[in-house]
Amino acid sequence: MSKKYWVPAIERADLILREISKHPNELRLIDLSKRLEINKSSLYSLLNTLETLGWIIKTTKDSYNLGPTLGTFNSMYLSQFNLIQSFYKEAQEAVSNIQEHIQLGTLEGNDVVYLGKVEAKTRVQLVTEPGMRFPAYASAVGKVQLINHTVEEIEDLFPVKTWDKKTEFTTSNIEELCSKVSLAKTKGYAVENQESALGFHCVAAPIYNFEKQIIAGISFTMPTNSWEDKFEAAKEEIIKLAANLSKLAGYQEVSKEAAIL
């Protein structure tokens, strides 16, 4: 985006709010001045204005927290957020870059319900359509939504002893599923190799909301003859797209520094 009409004061206010959000109730004026390299005189005026507007609040220890005005804005934004509309808008670029299909699905019980699909201009067509259900254990978009479940929760979701195998490669027992889910949690994405249909592969990433809960998953689907060449690029694109949609849903990733503190 061009900075031709950029307003430096608003940019500094944004930096202040972002820093306070990462370190609530910790940073004083002098701390913010050092971190953001803003002189104390200018910073004082900015903090005073933000406090007056209710964007931040000052504690008894002279540190700062985000204020109630931002909470109001957040609630108003989230009430307007539509995941499916955002998916169709945001997924176009990723599909154009990889030239493979992307699907959006949400976990409902032990099934994935497909919510949307953006198709690439290829001869390969997907049989799944929005509204269709598919076993979560046999799909990458299903497995990736299980990564925050405990083993006990996964066992409760899949109590049956005999699983419907879509192909010879379909996950067929709870131990295998838990192993694949654990690997997906470690990597941050899930992979499915010919489990849902022979000759097709998927890579999926989770979408989080403002409560840090997984609300859906998105996946690239492609034929075997494209998988080896496109996997790495598709993986990066799907992770980036999931992060963008999570951000639009209000998710804020905790920084490593903040997590340590």
pLDDT at res. 123: 84
Q: Among 7-16, 71-80, 172-181, 188-197, where is mean pLDDT lowest?
A: 71-80
DSSP characters for 94-109?
Answer: HHHHH-SEEEEEEEET
- CATH fold, domain 8-79, is Arc Repressor Mutant, subunit A (1.10.10)
Please say if the pLDDT value at position 82 is more than 90. Answer: no
Mean pLDDT of 198-217: 94
pLDDT at res. 258: 40
Q: Check: pTM over 0.85? Answer yes or no.
A: no
Please say if the pLDDT value at position 256 is more than 50. Answer: no
Average pLDDT, the chain: 90
pLDDT at res. 259: 40
The separation between the first and the last C-alpha atoms of the chain, rounded to the nearest angstrom, is 34
Which residue ranges make up each domain of the chain?
8-79, 81-248
- CATH fold, domain 81-248, is Beta-Lactamase (3.30.450)
> For residue range 96-147, what is the model confidence (pLDDT) as tens digits?
999 999 999 999 999 999 999 999 988 888 888 888 999 999 999 999 999 9
